[in-house]
Amino acid sequence: MLKMFRLVMVLFAASYTALAGAADMGAMVMHPWVREAPPTAAALGAFMVLQNHGAKPLVLVGAESAAAGEVQLHRTVMADGMAKMIRQNSIEIPAGGQVEFKPGDYHLMLMKPKQVLKAGDKVGITLKFKDGSSLPATFEVRAGMAMPMNHGNMHSGH
Ligand SMILES: [Cu+2]
């Protein structure tokens, strides 16, 4: 009986560590927001400043949200005056550093949104790291600046 109890305690401790890992390692999400888009939008951009207060590099490898069918890591780059979104397999945040996810640069892309998100709504997104840890954060939907961020054929607004 005692042996069983110990086993349960060990399992509980292990799963707790996995859940809390990213925060323990120093990952911190600042200013998380999702850009409001027309109800017909096939994807929405999500932005934040991801800080790493830890002593080791932090590698973001994905994200998930109950509000979207899939969450991808993207980076917008300019090529011949055209904005193009390139999917990223991972984004590294150096030890003691930060990466800014912002329009026209790195961002999270909420694919196949499951509901219409309006300014003021809250969206939960869980960040997934290479070491198996994860970090949930609450993103607020806001009306953003108009930027050429559509999927498919994209043109610079200038
Ligand atoms: Cu994108």
Q: 83 C-alpha to center of ligand 1: Å?
A: 10
Q: What residue segments make up the domains of the chain, in order of their start?
A: 2-142
pTM as predicted: 0.78
* pLDDT category of residue 24 using cuts at 50, 70 and 90: confident
Q: From the CA of 109, how far away is ligand 1's center (Å)?
A: 5
Give the confidence band of 17 by pLDDT, cuts at 50, 70, 90: very low
Return the CATH class of domain 2-142: mainly beta
Could you tell me the distance, in angstroms and rounded to a whole number, from the CA of residue 43 to the centre of ligand 1?
8
Query: Encoding tokens for residue 11?
Result: 């399992």
Encode pLDDT of 67-125 as tens digits: 999 999 999 999 899 999 999 999 999 999 999 999 999 999 999 999 999 999 999 99
Distance (angstroms) between ligand 1 centre and the Cα of 55 equals 30
Would you call 156 exposed, middle or buried from its count of C-beta atoms within 10 A (0-12, 13-18, 19+)?
exposed
* Ligand 1 midpoint to CA 158 (Å): 19
